[in-house]
Structure 1
Amino acid sequence: MARQFFVGGNFKLNPSTKEQSFALAEGLNNAQLDPATEEVVIAPPSLYLLPLKEKLGNGVQLAAQNAYFKVSGAFTGEISPTQLVDAGIPYVILGHSERRTLFHETSEIVAQKTRVALDTSLKVILCIGETLEQREAGKTAEVNEAQLKAAVAVLKEEDWSKIVVAYEPVWAIGTGKVATSAQAQETHAEIRSYLSKAVSPAVAAATRIIYGGSVTSANSKELSTQPDVDGFLVGGASLKPEFVNIINAKKE
């Protein structure tokens, strides 16, 4: 069975106003989106999730940028996965490199969050990726496998149907650098090979592995032709009109 093409837009701590977020939603609502991209998901700041839910159409879904590994309690400033489900938000991004580096989330914490998110019926965009130093040391596969291993340890085989793996080389996020299509394909194939050994060949074949790291309309078309690249997680370009071109990367 062919894997559904998936494009996510991570707005991070942007835009600055609700009106600007509405304008981004309106742009997507009015765009001609290629049906070959079967899932389009945007992740605005949490404050704008509910207002955008009322505005979004055209099949575009929402994701939270983070959730905690407890569903309630004395955890000031955190977001509960059960509250996201109650609010009708289907996806959450977990393990983004900024969460790992700026907020010191270990792979074990990310795995714990993933387990609880799935238990509350959220679907997960699970981010992994290496630094430039790690790539230059030839440790890309080792780093990605270590980050996935923690999740594999707490997940059941059937859980993987609700996970999209996002490979985001840290050296390519927001830097303007991008993995070549050959580099992306090689790494995605390594990730799929690891999932085949660590979980099962069926899970490896079915799991979508998307690429993130300075994706633009200029490079998305070639990247989308790679057999193991099943879509994108887009940062800065998701705030620009070119995001539609990235969503439509598979279009002839």
Structure 2
Amino acid sequence: MARKFFVGGNFKMNPGSLEAKKAIVNVLNKADVDPNTEVVISPPALYLIPLVDFLRKDFSVSAQNCHEKLSGAFTGEISPTQLADAGVPWVILGHSERRTLFGENEKGEVRSIVAAKTKAALDAGLKVILCVGEKEEQREAGKTDEVVRSQLEPVFEVLKGDDAAWSKIVIAYEPVWAIGTGKVASPKDAQETHAATRKFLAERVSPAVAESTRIIYGGSVSAKNCKELSTQPDIDGFLVGGASLKPEFVDIINSKRA
């Protein structure tokens, strides 16, 4: 089954004004991009609604987080139903910067919250970019696959019996040591982790879900390294941080174009 190439741009808390953001999006709106690539842009929450209207219609918008409850006394949070109501179709969940912020530990409290958020987002009609990835010391200890599995396991549990839900999930493998550092996993290393993750999906859900689920790579992706990474059979796209704020993001979107 052919998996449509997927490129997400995570603006994080950048840039500092709506006008600066519009300047970045203007470049994307005017760009000649590969129609066979799905593109999703994720600005800070304050700019989601303006971007829904301003961004070209063949691209989509994503939130960077949501709460696991649909409503309630949760100051400063956004519910998945509110995102859906605002016309925001995607949400990024489990990004390592948020896992670290809330002190993920071996007992897995944060992992269970990410799983609950994933279930709530899907129930609200959103699609999810689900982030997983290991720290540098975990990779050096040979625990990459173990860490990725431990982060996915709570999601398997909350979605048990609902194979169709995986059609609305894109898994983003983002090694923590490569995010914003300039380091990048080699195409061989990234491919090995993606293939192992797909094998785990086949074991825990089904071979059909494993074959159809997109697994994308994130971590210092640039115009220089995207071409070689995109040739790997189990790398189905990218989640891009800093480079999504630059004109080279168009080159990354077009990395699979012949």
Instruction: Give TM class, smaller chain.
Output: over 0.9
* 1:24 to partner: Cα distance: 1.2
Aligned equivalent of 2:194: 188
Structure 1 gap segments, 5+ residues each: none
Query: Do the aligned partners of 1:44 and 1:64 also contact (CA within 8 Å) in 2?
Result: yes
- 1:79 partner amino acid: I
Q: 1:129 maps to which residue? A: 133
Separation in structure 2 between the aligned mates of residue 133 and residue 120 of structure 1, nearest angstrom = 37
Residue-pair matches, total: 251
Q: Which structure 2 segments of 5+ residues have no match?
A: 105-109
Match in the other structure for 2:11: 11
CA distance in 2, matches of 1:236, 1:250: 20
Which letter does structure 1 place at the counterpart of 2:116? Q
Contact 1:28–1:58, Cα closer than 8 Å, also in 2: no
The answer for the alignment partner of 1:29 in structure 2 is 29
Pairwise CA distance, 1:53 = 1.2
Distance in 1 separating the partners of 2:117 and 2:57 = 30
Q: Distance in 1 between matches of 2:225 and 2:203?
A: 31
Secondary structure at 1:66's aligned position in 2? coil
Residues 29-71 of structure 1: CA deviation (Å, up to 9, x unaligned): 000001121x100100000011111111151110000000011
The amino acid that maps onto 1:52 is L
Distance 2:67 2:102 in 1: 13
Q: Which moved more, 1:86-95 or 1:105-114?
A: 105-114
Tell me if structure 2 keeps the 8 A contact 1:181–1:222.
Answer: yes
For 1:142, the equivalent position in structure 2 comes to: 146
Task: For 1:162, give the aligned amino acid.
Answer: K
Larger deviation, residues 115-124 vs 58-67: 58-67
Distance (Å, rounded) in 2 between the aligned partners of 1:54 and 1:95: 27
Q: CA deviation at 1:158?
A: 1.1
Aligned match of 2:107: none
- In the other structure, the counterpart of 1:76 is 75
Matches within 5 A, 1:148-227: 148-155=152-159, 156-227=162-233
Ranges of 4+ aligned residues in structure 1 off by more than 6 Å:
none
Which amino acid counterpart does residue 123 of structure 2 have in structure 1? Answer: D
Secondary structure of 2:56's match?
Answer: coil
Corresponding residue for residue 64 of structure 1: 63
Distance 1:60 1:154 in 2: 29
Work out the CA distance in 2 between the residues paired with 1:19 and 1:57: 16
1:116 counterpart = 2:115 = no
- What is the CA-CA distance between 1:25 and the residue it aligns to? 1.2
RMSD: 0.8
DSSP-derived class of the 1:218 partner: coil
State the AA in 1 paired with 2:163. E
Q: For residue 103 of structure 1, report the CA deviation from its aligned partner.
A: 2.6
* TM-score (structure 1 length as normaliser): 0.98
Cα deviation 1:224-250 (Å, max 9, x = unaligned) = 000000000000000000000000001
SS at match of 1:109: helix
Match of 1:52, SS state, is helix
| Mapping 1:35-54, distance limit 5 Å | 35-37=35-37, 39-54=38-53
Q: Distance in 2 between matches of 1:103 and 1:243?
A: 30
Partner in structure 2 of residue 91 of structure 1: 90
